[in-house]
Structure 1
Amino acid sequence: MTKTGLAGVGRMGSGMLTNMRKGGIDAVGFDIRPAGEFGNLPVTNDADAFANGLTTLITVVRDMVQTDEVLFGPQGFVLRATDLETIIVSSTLSPKYVRALRDRIPDHINLIDAPMSGAQVGAIEGTLAFMVGGDDAPVEAAWPLFEAMGSNIHRMGGFGDGIQTKVLNNLLCASHTVMTRLILDWASDADLDHGKLLALVEKATGQNWFASRFEQIEFARQGYETGNTVAILEKDVAAALDAAPEGADTALPELLKQMLHNLEPMD
């Protein structure tokens, strides 16, 4: 028997868990919040119950601190889940941190990094893009999980290559977010219709994911607040900067990070 568990049933994890179950995967969730907050989803905050029989663990928590808590700290599923065979890291974290996990986790546990892109709307629709890194056999075994949650699954290479790809992708996402919001602000100042402008951008050279799905993206109008999606995107830019090549020009990513931090809510 195998048991798949997802730790971090939040903005992204809730849709991911829902779609695995829709796909016939008997997956369960773990979150530190009370189980009653998750409706009909099978979610527990009992670490022992979650760990019992767990063979595949997917982590979708916010950052490195929470990932450490799940793997080694209060939850400590690396040791608590004695049947654990595979860990899939789907949070967007520093590539340096992710690659270093191999030395911290026993060799008998397979490690896959599979961060995703597509925002909450993609998690709900089951259309996420996954960037997958890891050894061939465990990746092949986990492939049905990715297919249940996403529609664009990309095999990027060995362990750590998925997250390296993701932080580079998110540098572009950050630039699209900042610049799309800027042109909409400038459009308001010029009394231009936002809908007409976005429709034009969709068919012109400025086309990008953020502008194309502006009305569906849950954080499109958000300003920066600690813990919200704009703050998470700022964190992702910081993760990319942490893995920047030695001597690289980081001026533009640093500016993007600051602009995200300064972003104000949009009416």
Structure 2
Amino acid sequence: MIGVAGCGRMGAPMLGALCRAGFDARGFDIRPPREFGALSEHMTDDAAAFAAGLETLLTVVRDVPQTEDVLFGAQGFVRTASLRRIILCSTLSPRYVLALRARLPEQITLIDAPMSGAQIAAEEARLSFMLGGEDSDLDAAQPLFAAMGSHFHRMGGFGAGMQAKVLNNLLAASHTAMTRLVLDWAEQAGLDQRKLLDLIHTSSGQNWFASGFNQIEFARDGMDDDNTIGILVKDVESALDAAPEDADTALPRTVQALLRTLEPYPSSS
């Protein structure tokens, strides 16, 4: 059985995609199954029930503390399930991910497979996966990724996918912060937002966030620890945790600080 731990805005549609593709899959979340609508029959908030028959675990929780709970702590599926494979889809510090190998039984296959594309891509099963692991392990898991995504980037051995993801998210964070700043300045200057976004899309300032501004679910969010802006702040920290010893971290810290100041858009100022 395949299990998805952490069925939030990304994990729930990923579970849905696996079920639609015919996989024997169920989801675990601390929220009761009734909150998941059509997915409720595939959901449980009972850790023991989730662990029964669980062989492949996909973790899509928020951060390292929640990953610790899923693997070793409150849920402790490494202890309670007969796991054969763990696929890490959360965005975590690459240093933390690499250290997991020594903490887990050798017979458990480890793959890091963080994804990109926001909720809309998860709902449409067209996520981009950044993959780290042995080629044979990635080959065996490819049907799962194919059910949930449309782009698959094999970055190297275990941990390489996570390193690529945090670097990608550094750019995503900078695009988010700077696009929002540009739109605020444009409003002050009296520019039409739609016309400016159309211009950016076909000009040198083009970026994923600006091009998808009206489709990306978090585009107008302000900073909150529990939303995607807060997750971007966390992801920048994950990248900084794995930065080279002599790296200049001033620019990432500035982007992180800008994200922390974001208010719901349009700004009330």
- Whether these two folds match at TM > 0.5 is yes
Counterpart in 1 of 2:30? Answer: 32
Residues of 1 paired with 2:138 and 2:195: CA distance?
44
Counterpart in 2 of 1:144? Answer: 143
Please say if 1:12 is aligned against 2:10.
yes
Aligned length: 264
| Range 34-43 or range 5-14, more displaced | 34-43
Residues of 2 paired with 1:43 and 1:131: CA distance?
26
Counterpart in 1 of 2:74? Answer: 74
Contact 1:156 1:165 in 2 (8 A): yes
Counterpart in 2 of 1:54? Answer: 54
Please say if 1:86 is aligned against 2:85.
yes
Deviation at 1:21, TM superposition (A): 1.3
User: What's the CA shift string for 1:133-170, capped at 9, x where partnerless?
Assistant: 01122211110111111111111110000000000000
Residues of 2 paired with 1:230 and 1:177: CA distance?
9
Please say if 1:214 is aligned against 2:213.
yes
Contact 1:129 1:153 in 2 (8 A): yes
Deviation at 1:222, TM superposition (A): 0.8
Matched AA of 2:70: V
Residues of 1 paired with 2:258 and 2:202: CA distance?
26
Residues of 2 paired with 1:105 and 1:138: CA distance?
16
SS in 1 for 2:38: coil
The within-5 A match list for 1:110-129 is 110-129=109-128
Matched AA of 2:28: F
Residues of 2 paired with 1:118 and 1:149: CA distance?
11
Gaps of 5+ in 1: none
| Range 132-141 or range 105-114, more displaced | 132-141
Aligned residues with identical type, % of pairs: 62
Residues of 1 paired with 2:85 and 2:224: CA distance?
34
Deviation at 1:26, TM superposition (A): 2.1
SS in 2 for 1:28: strand
Report the TM-score, using the length of structure 2 for normalisation.
0.97
Contact 1:57 1:88 in 2 (8 A): yes
| Range 46-55 or range 93-102, more displaced | 46-55
Residues of 2 paired with 1:25 and 1:215: CA distance?
33
Counterpart in 1 of 2:129? Answer: 130
Contact 1:8 1:60 in 2 (8 A): yes
SS in 2 for 1:39: helix
Residues of 2 paired with 1:25 and 1:193: CA distance?
47
User: What's the CA shift string for 1:105-140, capped at 9, x where partnerless?
Assistant: 100000000000111111111111100001122211
Cα root mean square deviation, aligned: 0.8
Report the TM-score, using the length of structure 1 for normalisation.
0.97
Residues of 1 paired with 2:52 and 2:138: CA distance?
23
User: What's the CA shift string for 1:176-196, capped at 9, x where partnerless?
Assistant: 101111111111011111001
Residues of 2 paired with 1:164 and 1:27: CA distance?
28
Contact 1:4 1:56 in 2 (8 A): yes
Residues of 1 paired with 2:121 and 2:171: CA distance?
18
Contact 1:86 1:138 in 2 (8 A): no
Counterpart in 2 of 1:194? Answer: 193
Residues of 1 paired with 2:46 and 2:38: CA distance?
17
Please say if 1:156 is aligned against 2:155.
yes
Counterpart in 2 of 1:240? Answer: 239
Gaps of 5+ in 2: none
Contact 1:116 1:128 in 2 (8 A): yes
Residues of 2 paired with 1:123 and 1:64: CA distance?
22
SS in 2 for 1:236: helix
Residues of 2 paired with 1:53 and 1:136: CA distance?
26
